[in-house]
């Protein structure tokens, strides 16, 4: 067993699941059993309930997992990976997703393929992708009142009601335009297949150094999605909320209420996330499967 451990690319592995997700119990137990047989050191997210795990296994918070582990396996859907990515970006530890969710653009290993895929990955046979995040600040009266990161997108919108707002956009301190819309989505290439896509935004290959700005139901039909370099510094000024409550949201999971006059500053985060995929991983195959591009029209 010890010789097997020496041959492994990753010896200490962290496991994160969607909190309180009993639906992952079977996959989680299979994963732990497999890693135990490989003699891997396992550290579980401290939020994993004891009743989902057989036996006693070390637990830690995300910060400690990032320091101690050489690989983190995330069991869940893309939302679980988004959460893990934000908390582990500073640690530079690679993430691997086991998909028990719906879409699986990020978590692409199915539970049935778990053992075969992991066997190859643990011995160093895998594909590696670097993904960047966005860091966001909300400034009110020149004071920072909110900070948050996003792997998918930052959305500025009116919450809880379908109502337009007005805002100005500057990129690298240059005025772009004044818009009336339901809001705007600022997305990474990773997030280009999420909310941005549903609004008519372009699909960006996951490895591109670009950011998209996609208006939400703009009042002016000529207002179109804009793609800029990932080094761009974006400033959204809230001009009018039409008496609604505006909000800035990171990955749909972190949010801050906004007021007229607030500045939402978005730029690329220095830290990146490394995603691991099986050797046969094909980004375009995932697009075909998830977006149903492979369906043929029959008469």
The pLDDT, as a whole number, for residue 293 is: 84
The pLDDT, as a whole number, for residue 16 is: 97
Distance (Å, rounded) from C-alpha 181 to C-alpha 167? 8
Distance (Å, rounded) from C-alpha 47 to C-alpha 176? 44
The pLDDT, as a whole number, for residue 4 is: 53
The pLDDT, as a whole number, for residue 105 is: 86
112 catalytically annotated:
no
User: Of 78, 108, 153, 262, which residue is the catalytic one?
Assistant: 78
The pLDDT, as a whole number, for residue 183 is: 96
Q: What's the pTM value of the predicted model, to 2 decimals?
A: 0.92
Burial code (b: 16+ CB inside 10 Å, e: under 16) for 215-245 equals: bbebeeeebebbbbeeebebbbbbeebeebe
The pLDDT, as a whole number, for residue 8 is: 72
Question: pLDDT tens digits for the chain (299 residues)?
Answer: 444 555 678 989 999 998 766 678 899 999 999 999 999 999 999 999 888 888 889 999 999 999 999 999 999 989 999 999 999 999 999 999 999 867 678 988 989 999 999 999 999 999 999 999 999 999 999 999 999 999 999 999 998 777 899 999 999 999 999 999 999 999 999 999 999 999 999 999 999 999 999 999 999 888 999 999 999 999 999 999 988 999 999 999 999 999 999 999 999 999 999 999 999 888 898 888 888 886 665 55
Contacts 24+ apart (CB under 8 A), 208-213: 209/132, 211/134, 211/186, 211/187, 211/266, 211/268, 212/185, 212/186, 212/187, 213/169, 213/184, 213/185, 213/186
Distance (Å, rounded) from C-alpha 270 to C-alpha 264? 18
In degrees, rounded to 5, the angle at the alpha carbon of residue 117 between the alpha carbons of residues 99 and 107 is 20
Residue 109 DSSP label: B
Token reading at 26: 């079977």
The pLDDT, as a whole number, for residue 297 is: 57
Query: What domains does the chain contain, in order, with CATH numbers?
Result: 2-126+278-291 (3.40.50.10330), 133-270 (2.60.200.30)
The pLDDT, as a whole number, for residue 2 is: 43
The pLDDT, as a whole number, for residue 103 is: 62
């Amino acid at each position: 067993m010890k010789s097997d451990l020496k041959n492994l690319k990753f010896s200490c592995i962290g496991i994160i699941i969607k909190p309180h997700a009993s639906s992952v119990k079977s996959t989680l137990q299979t994963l732990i059993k497999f890693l135990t047989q490989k003699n891997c050191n396992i550290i579980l997210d401290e939020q994993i309930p004891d009743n989902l795990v057989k036996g006693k296994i070390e637990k830690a918070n995300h910060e400690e997992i990032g320091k101690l582990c050489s690989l983190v396996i995330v069991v869940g859907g893309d939302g679980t990976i988004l959460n893990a990515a934000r908390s582990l970006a500073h640690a530079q530890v690679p993430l691997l997703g086991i998909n028990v969710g719906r879409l699986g653009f990020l978590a692409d290993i199915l539970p049935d393929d778990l053992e075969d895929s992991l066997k190859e990955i643990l011995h160093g046979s895998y594909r590696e992708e670097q993904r960047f995040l966005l860091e966001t600040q909300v400034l009110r009266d020149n004071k920072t009142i909110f900070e948050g990161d996003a792997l998918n997108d930052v959305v500025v919108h009116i919450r809880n009601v379908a109502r337009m707002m007005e805002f100005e956009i500057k990129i690298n301190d240059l005025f772009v335009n004044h818009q009336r819309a339901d809001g705007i989505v600022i997305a990474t290439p990773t997030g280009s297949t999420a909310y941005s896509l549903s609004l008519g935004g372009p699909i960006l290959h996951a490895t591109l150094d670009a950011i998209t700005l996609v208006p939400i139901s703009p009042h002016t039909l000529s207002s179109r999605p804009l793609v800029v370099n990932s080094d761009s510094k974006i400033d959204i000024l809230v001009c009018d909320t039409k008496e609604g409550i505006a909000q800035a949201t990171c990955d749909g999971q972190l949010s801050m209420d906004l007021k007229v006059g607030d500045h939402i500053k978005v730029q690329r985060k220095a830290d990146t996330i490394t995603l691991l995929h099986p050797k046969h991983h094909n980004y375009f195959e995932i697009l075909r499967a998830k977006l149903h591009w492979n369906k043929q029209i029959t008469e």
